[in-house]
Amino acid sequence: MAKLHIVTEGDRVLRLKSRPVTEVNDRIKTLLDDMTETMREADGCGLAAPQVGVLRRVVVVETEPGVVYELINPVIVEKSGDQHEVEGCLSVPNKSGYTHRPAYVKVEALDRNGNPVTYEGRDLLARAFCHEIDHLDGILYIDHAEMIDN
């Protein structure tokens, strides 16, 4: 595994829409492994491929130590409720702001073996899923955050 460079606000790649993964192969599996290592070393709870300069629809999320969600081509298929919490982002260092996110989401994706998976998330996990999936469409949390602190 290798630690990847995390691109930061101002880098054009963060504003582009990512392409779907058409084949889950060894390159995608290596990307998942490298993204997980990078996220952990940066003390984050999620990382999307565009944040490491790769325009593919790939996300990793770890809100509980040791429980890593690997999402390929993720889609939010259900959401409900509302939470208003502070968010930050590895690609927007030293800032945070309040966002409104669903309190519950259901996500469909492919796993590292290309098998369909469905995950449900509440609270922090729901927020992390939404945050990382937004990255795949070139959206940063600061686009809809309130009271951004430096």
Active site residues: 132
Note every long-range contact of 109-117, with CB atoms under 8 Å and residues 24 or more positions apart, other chains counting. 109/59, 109/71, 109/72, 109/73, 109/74, 109/75, 110/21, 110/24, 110/71, 110/72, 110/73, 111/70, 111/72, 112/24, 112/28, 112/29, 112/32, 112/70, 112/72, 113/24, 114/23, 114/24, 114/72, 117/71
